[in-house]
Amino acid sequence: MPDTGANDLPFPDNWRRRDLLELQCLEADEIQTLLDTAQTLKDRTGGGRKRLSLLRGKTCANLFFENSTRTRSSFSLAAKRLGADTLEFSSAGSSVAKGETFVDTAKTIQAMGVDWVVTRHNTPGTPHLLARELDCSVLNAGDGAHEHPTQGLLDMLTIRQHRGRLDGLTVALVGDIAHSRTARSNLWGLRKMGAHVIVCGPPTLVSPRWAEIGFEVAHSLDEILPRCDVLNLLRIQFERQHARFFPSVHEYAALYAMTASRMRRAKENILIMAPGPINRGVEITPEVADGPQSVILEQVTNGIAVRMAALWLLAGAADRQAAGEMTEPTQVSQPQWS
Ligand code: ASP
Distance from Cα 91 to the centre of ligand 1, integer Å: 18
179 C-alpha vs ligand 1 centroid, how far in Å? 10
81 known member of a binding site: no
Q: Are 256 and 283 in contact (CB under 8 A)?
A: yes
Q: Cβ(35)–Cβ(157) under 8 Å?
A: yes
Ligand 1 mean position, distance from CA 145 (Å): 9
- The pLDDT tens digits for 119-148 are 999 999 999 999 999 999 999 999 999 999
Instruction: Judge whether 181 is annotated as a binding position.
Output: yes
- Identify the bridge partners of residue 137 per DSSP, sorted by sequence position: 116
Could you tell me whether strands 85-90 and 230-233 are parallel, antiparallel, or unpaired per DSSP bridges?
Answer: unpaired
- The predicted model gives 71-98 an average pLDDT of 88
292 assigned to a ligand binding site = no
Question: 175 CA to middle of ligand 1, Å?
Answer: 12
> How far apart, in whole angstroms, are the C-alpha atoms of residue 57 and residue 40?
22
Residue with the smallest CA separation from ligand 1 atom 4 is: 142
| Distance, CA of 23 to CA of 10 (rounded, Å) | 23
Burial pattern 179-217, b for ≥16 Cβ within 10 A else e, equals bbbbbbbbbbbbbbbebbbbbbbbeebbeeebeeeebeb
CATH for 28-148+303-322, options being 3.30.450.20, 3.40.50.1370, 1.10.510.10, 3.90.1150.10: 3.40.50.1370
pLDDT band at 1 (very low <50, low <70, confident <90, very high): very low
pLDDT value of residue 194: 98
Rg of the chain on CA atoms, in Å: 20
**Ligand 1 atom nearest residue 141's Cα:** 4
Q: Say if strands 116-121 and 59-64 run parallel, antiparallel, or are unpaired.
A: parallel
Three-state SS string across 36-92, please? HHHHHHHHHCCCCCCECCCCCCCEEEEEECCCCCHHHHHHHHHHHHCCCEEEEEECC
150 is in an annotated binding site: no
Q: What is the tens place of the pLDDT at every residue in 218-277?
A: 999 999 999 999 999 999 887 888 877 887 899 999 999 999 999 999 999 999 999 989
276 annotated ligand-binding residue: yes
Mean pLDDT of 90-96: 72
Q: What is the pLDDT of residue 104?
A: 93
d(CA 154, CA 37): 12
Backbone angles phi, psi at 176, to 5 degrees: -85, 70
Q: What band does 337 get if pLDDT is binned at 50, 70 and 90?
A: low
pLDDT for 6 equals 55
56 is in an annotated binding site: no
Give me the helix-helix angle, 149-163 and 28-44, nearest 10°.
Answer: 70
| C-alpha 147 – ligand 1 centre gap (Å) | 10
324 is in an annotated binding site: no
Ligand 1 surroundings by CB, under 6 angstroms: 142, 148, 151, 181-182, 235, 275-276
Considering the chain, what is the average pLDDT of its residues? 93
Distances (CA, A) of 81 to 24, 135, 309: 28, 24, 11
Atom of ligand 1 nearest to the CA of 66: 4
From the alpha carbon of 120, which atom of ligand 1 is closest? 4
Closest atom of ligand 1 to CA, residue 148:
9
Which part of the chain is CATH 3.40.50.1370?
28-148+303-322, 149-298
CATH class of 149-298: alpha beta
Calculate how far, in angstroms, residue 155's C-alpha sits from the geometric centre of ligand 1: 12
Nearest residue by C-alpha to atom 1 in ligand 1: 276
CA-nearest of 202, 212, 146, 150 to 176 is 202
Average pLDDT over residues 2-25: 85
Please choose from 139, 148, 233 the residue to mutate so as to test ligand 1's pocket, defined by most ligand atoms within 8 A of CB. Answer: 148
Going by CA atoms, what residue is nearest to atom 8 of ligand 1?
Answer: 235
What's the 30 CA to ligand 1 centre distance in angstroms? 24
Q: Is 115 within 8 Å of 318 (Cβ atoms)?
A: yes
Residue 15 has pLDDT above 90, yes or no: yes
User: Do the beta carbons of residue 63 and residue 89 sit within 8 Å?
Assistant: yes
pLDDT tens digit string along 173-221?
A: 999 999 999 999 999 999 999 999 999 999 999 999 999 999 999 999 9
